[in-house]
A and B are shown apart, each in its own frame.
Chain A
């Protein structure tokens, strides 16, 4: 195990550092996908890895079924493939390999075979992106028993969660976000023990309500939480960075203290992971002082025009409104009527 050192890295560099460590420490790893090797990735995330690790890092044709199937098959035969699907939207052309194939390897062989593969992908809206390049699809992956799903948002998590995924003996989807890749550099601890999968990140401590979120949306949530604080609402923000397995215990511990729950995600709400979080909290029997609320994208397609997409996706104002609603227990639609600061 390499000793812990601290480096100042961007999100993309943190992913790159995790990949480099995995390729270095585990000779059974492979890294492949479209444009990942010689070009170094369309977002520059895998730069330099081909040069350093040679033919274990390679470019593929535009063939997602073969990429994912190649991962499943090589994993069954002792490799530990890490593959890139450039956009989560493109996983849909090869969804079979995840849902019907990867998820069943261990099950149907009763453990004689395993599929320790990692799919790195990225998702979400960015300015100008079309309906086929903007979706947040974590619920589709997380619906499948046998598949693990995480969504790293901090640079540290970009490093840590990817390593946990690679070290995990189950097929694991790591959903990144392209708007984060080249953001601010942050100190990142490199090296040290690889963490087991699971767990939440505490992003803000608070006592009035628990806001559960994940993915890039949490930056808006944190901004809204600061504005709420100025109104006297003290929100706790949890990053449910592992969607499956979901760390329900940590969420419940927080909700038990605050008695109020808001879930915010970029994905659509119907059938989303937010529905799962709310259901599990309600089913637990924990006492809530106000009805739980979840917000996500409007139930429509995601338009390319920026001002249209801004209406579809949760905005800071929407999140702040929802925080007020949960904190003050006001019915939907009456949030604006609350005098600011009233409790």
Chain B
């Protein structure tokens, strides 16, 4: 990765992290209410993957842990924060909240709070591409826990049987909520399931944005060339709870420290330093993003709440 690219990726990862940190503060102050799932530690997946996508035609289908995907796709932090704050200016006007907003104008076709539900829908987006001439590739992104959901099995076979351009991207953070996923599967090398469906399957370091970008770029190329779906498994760790407030008593001693040591932002900074970028430049980059997200939070807080008089809109044509 060139130095410029590395700094671009780092900026996106900072933007995601700062937004998540701001959300945490606003949740603890109860400006934001309800269940919030953060993606701290998994930022390299989003920042890396979008570099291999053309968001004007490709379509991403993330999960409830989707703030990072949205920001990587270009949704302004203010629109995400405003959404969680129930503002009219939220990306879904306060309808979706933290776990279920959608940003189709940015190629981000919705978080989903039903585990695995995005995978069959991504097949449909790819199917439509076969008829609309767009050459669209659909990315279904979900946790490894979702690999045990019937809908995901069906989607993989459906996409493979129909040679659909779908990238199934597993964000393997090793936990299904509070349960280690390896405790509920016989084989936790999920990419190996691909061959059973007749797909290519690849596992890689999900904390390395370069590795993510390369893997997604290969998969996208296969898809665009008509070779059918690919299963990607990005290995990562969340460095926060499953939701804000999760005390993570289920994590063995030392695991979280190791995850923090391997988290992608500090790591990208180490790489930048090794490539000759100075500490001052790195600090300035981060500060610029901190200020940007701070302004976004103030604007979101100052914006008017979504209007209850509108609750019956958009249910039917």
Contacts and interface: CB of A to CB of B under 8 A. Distances in A.
Given A62-B149, A63-B149, A299-B315, A128 B306 contact: no
A104 B308 CA distance: 44
B179 A304 contact: no
B183 A132 contact: no
Contacts of A39: 177-179, 250
Interface string B87-108: 1001000111111100000000
Contacts of B33: 127-128, 306
Nearest to A128: B34
Interface residues of A, number: 39
Interface residues of B, number: 44
Contacts, number: 132
Contacts of B90: 305
A34 B177 contact: yes
Interface string A238-250: 0000000000000
B300 to A, nearest CB: 13
Interface in B299-317: 305-306, 308-312, 315
A61 B114 contact: no
A31 B36 CA distance: 28
B24 to A, nearest CB: 14
Interface string A86-102: 00011011100000000
A93 B148 contact: no
Contacts of A127: 33-34
B184 A308 contact: no
B176 A304 contact: no
A132 B114 contact: yes
A97 to B, nearest CB: 11
Chief secondary structure at chain B's binding surface: loop
B34 A62 contact: no
Contact of A301 (B151, B306, B308, B315): B315
Given A126-B34, A307-B305, A310-B308, A35 B94 contact: no
B185 interface: yes
Residue of B97, B148, B250 most packed against chain A (CB within 10 A): B97
Nearest to A60: B184
Nearest to B83: A304
B32 interface: yes
B306 A307 contact: yes
A303 B177 contact: no
Contacts of B179: 34-35, 38-39, 59
Given A59-B179, A93-B149, A132-B114, A303 B94 contact: yes
Residue of B35, B95, B145, B183 most packed against chain A (CB within 10 A): B95
A63 B98 CA distance: 24
A295 to B, nearest CB: 15
Interface string A113-154: 000000000000011111111000000000000000000000
Contacts of B146: 62
Contact of B185 (A38, A61, A94, A298): A61
B115 A62 contact: yes
A247 B41 CA distance: 53
Contacts of A129: 34-35, 97
B37 to A, nearest CB: 11
Contacts of B96: 130-131, 304
A42 interface: yes
Interface in B95-138: 95-100, 112-117
Nearest to B249: A39
A35 B178 contact: yes
Contacts of A308: 86, 94-95, 306, 308, 310-311
19 contacts: A60-B184, A62-B148, A62-B176, A62-B184, A63-B149, A89-B113, A93-B114, A93-B150, A128-B32, A128-B36, A129-B35, A129-B97, A130-B98, A132-B99, A298-B311, A300-B311, A303-B94, A308-B86, A308-B95
Interface of B: 32-36, 86-87, 90, 94-100, 112-117, 145-146, 148-151, 176-179, 181, 183-185, 250, 305-306, 308-312, 315
